[in-house]
Amino acid sequence: MIRFYNGLVLEPSGVTENEVWVDGSAISYVGPAREDMPLFDCIVNLRGDLLMPGFKNAHTHSGMTFLRSAADDLPLHQWLEKQVFPAEAKLTAESTAAFVKVAFLEYLTSGVTACFDMYYHTDEFARIARDWGFRAVLCGSFTAGNDWEEMYDYYQHYNHDFGPLVSAQLGFHAEYTTNREKLEYLSKVCHELKAPVWCHNAETASEVDGCIERHGVTPTKLFDSLGLYDYGGGGFHCIYMTDEDLDIFARRGLTAVLNACSNGKLASGFFRLKEAMEKGVRLAVGTDGPASNNALDMFREMYLINIMAKLREENAAAGDPALILNAAVSGGARAMGLDDCDAIAQGKQADMVRIDMHRPNMRPVNNVVKNLVYSGNPSNVRMTMVAGKVLYENGEFFVGEDPEDIYRAAEKYTREILG
Amino acid sequence: MIRFYNGLVLEPSGVTENEVWVDGSAISYVGPAREDMPLFDCIVNLRGDLLMPGFKNAHTHSGMTFLRSAADDLPLHQWLEKQVFPAEAKLTAESTAAFVKVAFLEYLTSGVTACFDMYYHTDEFARIARDWGFRAVLCGSFTAGNDWEEMYDYYQHYNHDFGPLVSAQLGFHAEYTTNREKLEYLSKVCHELKAPVWCHNAETASEVDGCIERHGVTPTKLFDSLGLYDYGGGGFHCIYMTDEDLDIFARRGLTAVLNACSNGKLASGFFRLKEAMEKGVRLAVGTDGPASNNALDMFREMYLINIMAKLREENAAAGDPALILNAAVSGGARAMGLDDCDAIAQGKQADMVRIDMHRPNMRPVNNVVKNLVYSGNPSNVRMTMVAGKVLYENGEFFVGEDPEDIYRAAEKYTREILG
């Protein structure tokens, strides 16, 4: 058992000065110091630092680290067709594994305790998560080129074969890379499995225009009309949503996963945060892949979501740091089906981050939440714990592999692919 | 003498694998390893890390750290009048000193080796810079309420009385807080001193509209017509610049200091980067004060300048990471009169930063410059050196004071002012 004391704790009710005890993978107690203390294996004096639930990176393509700083500053379609797709065609299981590991290391340095991932070579991905002790949810990225009957196997395989840290959700890439027949089939699958459905949705204007041309309605209306949202789910990006789309998301309890850094770097546009907030749309936060971001840094995501809201509305009062922090933590957990990882509370999984409050960017402490959102950065992440296990602390990784070996492998495979 | 070897060096010509030797406050050699090596006091194996010139924070109000996370998410005028001004009225020399020290610590953690500061209690500010060994340039922030004859004293005092690390430039707050008579007087001063002139310029549309109402022209045209730019200088923010304003800046070699994070958080708007680049306007980068940012993080500034350019132009190819990195380093040095601090080259001041390339956000190394701009953050700053002296290394400060004492004082004074 581990005891954390003498710090701040970000609880659902706000910031407290409670103790937090961890027993195995779960939080066994949150409250004031008690006389009847058990015997602890480890006692951590937080010395004023903040314990918060880990960030949930609710949309990413971890294996794309090899394209970091290799495919920048290009218009979206050139970027995809000239840089991304030809490079991805050369990926192997080995090289993807090395690239995924670089991403996982970066998640740990920025306080991410779980990711919702869409990419290739998913068995390698799931194995790394299992072996390292990192929490990962796979999202299907099926396109018209795939056999969608494999969805059943995909869903069962990743929900059962890699232990408690790995799970899967139904998903496909996007409307424009599939067809009506496939989507109708998916409707059958999600009803049989009673499972939520996820995909890229309304990332660009041309994607939405194309869908209206093909189907007469927006992607959200199309998916809704086909029953894909009958068991929940949601979309990644969600930039070009109509009022009606946002209403559907609100009514059905769907989650819009925001990817501000990607939408900024690819000039995709601004999420309609004000309207989504007014309608009560559920929100989560993701980094998208490192090729379009290029960092995997949830601090920067939270920051930019608020800044882009202010710029879009031309109003310094726009945005809501507390709401966006909540989206980045418990909103993501709910979206990813990780209901036991959403908060620091008794019985929840011990997926937690220690925020160093002794760095100057956190001082003075006028408002912990605003400090996190407006001036926090990965240098404030002192420890990242997943399921009660410390995977990162004081700049060191505890994942059973030497980061230098991972960097060397990633460098080698990157040169093989990109030259 | 100190020898740095086995790393990368960001030189004016690009990234090299040279050695860098430091003798006293200056760089004594940059080049390949040599047989005729002197006796070094210290030999640093960079192990693949990057040595780069320190960031120059070319516009800030360091003493405003006490307002971090205390005055957010308000429209600009409410923010200034209801939050900032009443709080600032309570500042003392002692409290300002504590707040400045928090800012200086943060500069060191984010690789800033010099700042261009506009604020109150400037003697305390200059003393801290001198005593810590941090490089600081004071910028006058005169308003109509001040006696502008004091400008001579200000200029001489801060350029001579605090040693080689402290200097000063002529400056006033902004057009809307002064009047024509004062500006005509300043014209006389800058001609006598043959000195550049600085101020906030075109930060908001209403500021420019007001100037046109009062004077019939934009701030830039007004200042230019009065001869204020006859010896150079430039403006902070520069958002609402007309083509003609940008032409004046280009023709006279004036510097536009970009403050993207502040302009985003206060919803002030977008700098016209494309037009400024086309016209060849000189650029520098600043954080503005921590009340309007809220971090003092040049990585985030460089990042957001590029992202805002892409969003404004609706073009993923907009922006220029290499140009903006150069602005954040040598552009700032030139603007601040620090011509000997602009680069890693023989004879230049040893104002340098060691970037940790062994963090996952820097891997793989497809492009060092893009890594810095698009995925770098303060956790990559492993060492910050000013004038040959290490002030920050591996998370520790070497400034002659305990950061905890500084945090405690800043916390105490903040509570006294804000309650």
Q: SS3 letters for B110-149? A: CCEEEEEECCCCHHHHHHHHHHHCCEEEEECCECCCCCCC
pLDDT over 90 (residue A72): no
Q: B75 vs B9, B206, B265, B270, B292, CA distance in Å?
A: 43, 13, 10, 16, 11
Identity of the residue numbered B229: Y
Confidence of residue A81 (pLDDT cuts 50, 70, 90): confident
Contact B297 A404 (CB under 8 A): no
Q: Of A68-77, A213-222, A406-415, B157-166, where does mean pLDDT reach its minimum?
A: A68-77
Q: Is the ipTM of this complex over 0.85?
A: yes
Confidence of residue B77 (pLDDT cuts 50, 70, 90): confident
Rg (chain B; Cα; Å): 21
Confidence of residue A412 (pLDDT cuts 50, 70, 90): very high
Whether the CB-CB separation of B249 and B282 falls below 8 Å is answered with: yes
| Nearest residue, CB atoms, A69 vs list B296, B313, B370 | B370
pLDDT in tens, B267-280: 999 999 999 999 99
Residue A102 touches chain B, beta carbons under 8 Å:
yes
Q: Which residue of B has its CA nearest to A102?
A: B360
Top CATH class of B2-53+349-397 equals: mainly beta
Contact A313 B265 (CB under 8 A): no
**Average pLDDT in the B308-329 region?**
97
CATH topology of domain A55-336: TIM Barrel (3.20.20)
The reply to whether A55-336 shares the fold of A2-53+350-397 is no
Tell me which H or E stretch contains A407: helix A403-418
Contact A379 B374 (CB under 8 A): no
Minimal CA separation from B191 to chain A, in Å: 39
CATH topology of domain A2-53+350-397: Urease, subunit C; domain 1 (2.30.40)
Residue entry with tokens 């893009």:
B370
Query: Considering only CB atoms, which chain B residues are within 8 Å of A261?
Result: 307
Contact A378 B379 (CB under 8 A): yes
Query: Considering only CB atoms, which chain B residues are within 8 Å of A377?
Result: 295, 297, 300, 377-379
Backbone torsions φ then ψ of A30, nearest 5 degrees? -135, 115
- Report d(CA B152, CA B121) in Å as an integer: 17
**Average pLDDT in the A355-359 region?**
98
- Hey, is A256 helix, strand or coil? strand
pLDDT of residue B74: 77
| Nearest residue, CB atoms, A316 vs list B74, B103, B418 | B74
**Average pLDDT in the B137-154 region?**
97
Which of B50, B57, B69 to probe by mutation at the A interface, max A CB count within 10 Å?
A: B69
Identity of the residue numbered A116: F
Residue B378 touches chain A, beta carbons under 8 Å:
yes
pLDDT over 80 (residue A76): no
Contact B377 A375 (CB under 8 A): no
pLDDT of residue B361: 98
Q: Taking the C-alpha atoms of A141, A142, A146 and A147 in order, what is their torsion angle to the nearest 10 degrees?
A: 120
Confidence of residue B83 (pLDDT cuts 50, 70, 90): confident
Backbone torsions φ then ψ of B201, nearest 5 degrees? -140, 120
Q: What is the largest CA-CA distance in chain A?
A: 68
Residue entry with tokens 């790995």:
A166
Residue A331 touches chain B, beta carbons under 8 Å:
no
pLDDT of residue A339: 97
Confidence of residue B72 (pLDDT cuts 50, 70, 90): confident
- Report d(CA B364, CA A63) in Å as an integer: 12
Query: Considering only CB atoms, which chain B residues are within 8 Å of A320?
Result: 73
Contact B375 A69 (CB under 8 A): yes
Contact A69 B371 (CB under 8 A): yes
Contact A293 B377 (CB under 8 A): no
A288 CB neighbour count, 10 Å cutoff: 30
The CATH homologous superfamily of the domain defined by B55-337: Metal-dependent hydrolases (3.20.20.140)
3-state helix, strand, coil in chain A (%, to 5): 45, 20, 35
Confidence of residue A386 (pLDDT cuts 50, 70, 90): very high
Q: B86 vs A142, B103, B200, CA distance in Å?
A: 58, 21, 21
Whether the CB-CB separation of A154 and A140 falls below 8 Å is answered with: yes
Residue B81 touches chain A, beta carbons under 8 Å:
no
A 155-214 → B contacts, CB under 8 A? none
Sorted by where each begins, the domain ranges of chain A are: 2-53+350-397, 55-336
Q: Which residue of A has its CA nearest to B287?
A: A375
Contacts of B55 (CB under 8 A, 6+ apart): B110, B111, B112, B113, B285, B298, B328, B329, B332, B353
pLDDT of residue B71: 77
pLDDT over 90 (residue A41): yes
